[in-house]
Amino acid sequence: MGTSTNPYILFLILILLIMGFDQDAGKKLEVMRNVMDRMASAMNNFKSGMNSLAVDFEEIHLLMKDIG
């Protein structure tokens, strides 16, 4: 068997150590989770907006082709 270590296990161990030493760790992790959720939502909105913009540019391109 290999002795490779899963990085997710190491991350979990780190989180457990932090929670063991810091009484406010749960609150801090909740704040971080909220930040990550908001960032994910913002990125999804940005992606949706960019896709809409690409569709609009394609329509403009087709209209310009018909004119010229």
Angle separating helix axes 25-67 and 7-21, nearest 10 degrees: 130
Q: Which residues contact 25 (CB under 8 A, 6 or more apart)?
A: 18, 19
CA distance 50 to 43: 10
CA distance 31 to 60: 43
pLDDT band for position 59 (cuts 50, 70, 90): very high
In the chain, where are the structural domains located?
23-67
pLDDT at 26: 84
DSSP 8-state class, residue 3: -
Over residues 22-55, the pLDDT tens digits come to 888 889 889 999 999 999 999 999 999 999 999 9
Report pTM.
0.59
